[in-house]
Structure 1
Amino acid sequence: MRILFLHPNFPAQFRHVATLLGKDPNNEVVFATKIENAEWQIPGVRKVLFKVSREARAETHHYVRFLENGVLHGQGMFRVAEQLKAEGFVPDVIYGHSGWGPTLFMKDAFPNSQLMCYFEWFYHAIGSDADFDPAEPLSVDDMARIRIKNAPILIDLYSCDWGISPTHWQKSQFPEEFHSKITVLHDGVDTDYFKPNPDAKLILPNLDLSGVDEIVTYVGRGMEPYRGFPEFIESLAYVQERRPNCHVVIVGSDRVCYGRSLPNNETYKDHMLKKVPLDLSRIHFVGSLPYGLYLKVIQASSAHIYLTRPFVLSWSMIEAMSTGCLVIGSDTPPVREIIRDGENGLLVDFFSPKQIADRIDEVLDHPTRMAEIRQKARQTVLEQYSHDILLPRHIQLIEDVANRGLSPQQNIASSLERQTQDFALAQGWEQQP
């Protein structure tokens, strides 16, 4: 099979499935990306770069700058597609992340190839992330801009032969008329890597917490309201007042990845530390970490906080559960899909710093009761989100889409069901409802 992956940032969501496909000598795998990430080299996968001629112009109406950037990405990828065709490479299936733009013109470049799209998010002004915080009311201008932001995604929904969305919540955000060609299939977690370490002691470069018994952890790409960073920092005032020996480790960059930035280039970290008086000797901002050090943090965690608006679910929450973390998560749709309160984790009101602190107390005061919840968190991931289960399904779906004879939705759905049943039975697991 010949497959072409598309994502501006290599390898992104396609890392593991591309690695598995690249191991098969019968496959020819090409990954087109905008950013050359020297850290990642996947055996059997050829990287090619597309270039964007320019960014959206400043004078472009702000509603359509996202679309203009998408078109520019699509043009850059189209030029690379022409080069690939000249070399004799015509993919059986193209698999790209929708929204960035590289997928937009692939049906024109390769009219006889099947197009799969990874549908991560569809934007809404009402009912999900954008209007979640009542302190941030939307203007009519915001609503119009958000609606137009879906333009490149709608083109992909129309053009693609099949789509994947990682959670039921995320799929539910897409127009219902397109649901029939979107499969819910999470990227999965390497449960052999993200596993518990009962003897874990947290030692990082320039930080030794090996003698600390109470460690609260928080992980994010950035430090921002979308992931509940302000509420988390406010909760620490209660935690520090009650628990003098508790330390907090915060993993992530001091930046905004989603949502609005503060004026005058002020970061949310600086803003919240000015607002909330804390003992900073017990709060450790360790920045973004490589996987090996990040793993050490969550393995040593006594209580792991994951807060999110009704938005895209982070890999980090499921990775933390896979290590047996006691996750205290926000009672919001993407989290509720996985965490059942009191069974495999704990849920809190996103907007209640005091409740977050109360649940941290609950975890730290009842280690024996929490041990069962930790075990069930790990078991949830093993049974529903492990690479061992999901990667075979992912490969099967790609092969089914590549084979046009199996492209109708009934055939793909039944093939996936058979694959899942066979794998679950082989592992001795009961089938999940």
Structure 2
Amino acid sequence: MNTNTSNHPQRILFLHPNFPAQFRHLASVLGQDSSYQVVFATKRQEGTIPGVSKVIYEPSRTAAPQTHHYVRNLENAVLTGQAVYRVAEQLKSQGFVPDIVYGHSGWGPTLFMKEVFPKAELLCFFEWFYHARGSDADFDPNEPLNADDMCRIHIKNSPILLDLYHCDRGLSPTHWQRQQFPPEFHSKISVCHDGVDTNFFQPNPEAKLVLPRINLDLSHVSELVTYVARGMEPYRGFPQFMEAVSLIQQLRPNCHVVVVGEDRVAYGKQLPEGQSYKQLMLDKLDLDLSRLHFTGLLPYNEYLQVLQASSAHIYLTRPFVLSWSMLEAMSAGCLLIAANTPPVLEVIKDGKNGILVDFFNPEQIAEKVNLALEKPKDMMSIRNAARKTVVKNYDLATLLPQHLDWMLGKKNALNSLGFGKR
């Protein structure tokens, strides 16, 4: 059944500097349905989605060096907004006027959409609202904030606040993330996670890790500890993880550790030029490098093998955006050993579907890993419960139709797009 009763297909414009990011599944489904005409404006050249027209925007410059450092983020957002405005005007001249504009808030692509498309419904994906106190910024007592930091963080929300005011509706992926936004805007923000493909991220109890592409063969290994993050950085507890690894290696002489991710900082402060947290920790700690493996970023099929072969999966995060990787690991049946921070506590009950540890306590992390490796059969109920949690609350097959319903504002979107059956 076609949900569109007008003479032309319903027109959707996605806005995100990355492609396809959080909108991958939405754009893929809508692009395959003739009832919808889908355009995706992005800065990223790579990648295509069948049925989705991709347009590139490029800011004319970046924030000027003389701009006050509190407002450089806002200036960059305005420059991005201008670039998207120019692309939107081109689309309009070609006859594409969207019914719905759905963009990621913060970088600025959504800022001027109401000016160029005043009749379009503006939807925003609200991932994070910044606070100087009580969340990520002041979490580490060894990194105290000064007055300059607090004022800069306060101003960093400027483009997000403009979006909160102008948008028709917004969405956050978790309740914890929605909670960060000002209470007076909560009525505008729904909660729906992007979803995990639980059919892909399935357990395989017989899995052994062999990745010929990077010449990694751990098929002989019976104890495998895993860690996954976009970057190796304090926001995801990389220094504490590495300290725990040095202890785990002493406790478990046959244990191997696999680290998936890039040697970079995705979130938080950079080290001085030329330094990385990976090298910092390798220089600081006494480690058996023959049992410590850095894979870099992996394609999904290899990443899945890492999770399926894992004996214990360590996930550490500051009070910040919840990583997709934590839920993907749970879906693959990993034994999750995770920091007891608020984004994790929304999902994990200690001893039920995961094991909680103190973010700042490498000794406790190592102790819990040692216990898990000592008694693997006792951990099976926790592994099974972890997968059940994701299947019940974060399954893509359930959440994608809900996300579509919310986005399209139509309760029958579920059936019209063929998601009525599992």
Shift of 1:369: 1.6
| TM-score normalised by length of structure 2 | 0.94
Shift of 1:30: 0.5
- Equivalent residue number for residue 287 of structure 1: 296
Q: Residues of 1 paired with 2:48 and 2:90: CA distance?
A: 22
Q: 2:222 aligns with which of 186, 201, 213?
A: 213
Q: Residues of 2 paired with 1:127 and 1:135: CA distance?
A: 15
Q: 1:81 to 1:126 in 2, by over 3 A?
A: same
Question: What one-letter code is carried by the residue in structure 2 that aligns with 1:35?
Answer: R
Question: What one-letter code is carried by the residue in structure 2 that aligns with 1:86?
Answer: S
Map Cα deviations across residues 40-69 of structure 1 (whole Å, 9 max, x no partner).
321111101112100111111100000000
Q: 1:393 aligns with which of 397, 402, 422?
A: 402
Question: What one-letter code is carried by the residue in structure 1 that aligns with 2:296?
Answer: G
- Equivalent residue number for residue 6 of structure 2: none
Question: What one-letter code is carried by the residue in structure 2 that aligns with 1:65?
Answer: R
- Equivalent residue number for residue 369 of structure 1: 378
**Is it true that 1:31 corresponds to 2:40 in the alignment?**
yes
Q: Residues of 1 paired with 2:196 and 2:32: CA distance?
A: 19
- Equivalent residue number for residue 328 of structure 1: 337
Q: Residues of 2 paired with 1:85 and 1:263: CA distance?
A: 45
Shift of 1:263: 2.1
| TM-score normalised by length of structure 1 | 0.92
Shift of 1:14: 0.5
Shift of 1:259: 0.8
Q: Residues of 1 paired with 2:224 and 2:57: CA distance?
A: 44
Q: 2:119 aligns with which of 83, 96, 112?
A: 112
- Equivalent residue number for residue 186 of structure 1: 193
**Is it true that 1:42 corresponds to 2:43 in the alignment?**
no
- Equivalent residue number for residue 270 of structure 1: 279
Shift of 1:426: 7.3
Map Cα deviations across residues 279-299 of structure 1 (whole Å, 9 max, x no partner).
111000111111111111111
Q: Residues of 2 paired with 1:398 and 1:241: CA distance?
A: 52
**Is it true that 1:173 corresponds to 2:180 in the alignment?**
yes
Question: What one-letter code is carried by the residue in structure 2 that aligns with 1:80?
Answer: V
**Is it true that 1:128 corresponds to 2:135 in the alignment?**
yes
**Is it true that 1:307 corresponds to 2:294 in the alignment?**
no
Q: 2:246 aligns with which of 222, 234, 237?
A: 237
Map Cα deviations across residues 103-140 of structure 1 (whole Å, 9 max, x no partner).
00000010000000000000000000000000000000
SS in 2 for 1:221: strand
Contact 2:231–2:264 (CA<8 Å) still a contact in 1?
Answer: yes
Map Cα deviations across residues 256-313 of structure 1 (whole Å, 9 max, x no partner).
1111112242110111111111111100011111111111111110000000000001
Count of matched residue positions in the alignment of Structure 1 and Structure 2: 409
**Is it true that 1:95 corresponds to 2:124 in the alignment?**
no
- Percentage of pairs with the same residue: 64
- Equivalent residue number for residue 269 of structure 2: 260
Shift of 1:419: 7.5
Q: Residues of 1 paired with 2:164 and 2:107: CA distance?
A: 13
Q: Residues of 2 paired with 1:199 and 1:398: CA distance?
A: 40
- Equivalent residue number for residue 59 of structure 2: 52
**More divergent stretch after superposition (262-271 vs 333-342):** 262-271
Question: What one-letter code is carried by the residue in structure 2 that aligns with 1:337?
Answer: E
Shift of 1:229: 0.3
Q: Residues of 2 paired with 1:425 and 1:66: CA distance?
A: 43
What is the root-mean-square deviation of aligned Cα atoms in Å?
A: 1.7
After TM superposition, which residue ranges in structure 1, 4 or more long, deviate above 6 angstroms?
A: 423-427
5+ residue gaps, structure 2, are 1-9
Map Cα deviations across residues 221-260 of structure 1 (whole Å, 9 max, x no partner).
1000000000000011211111000000001111111111
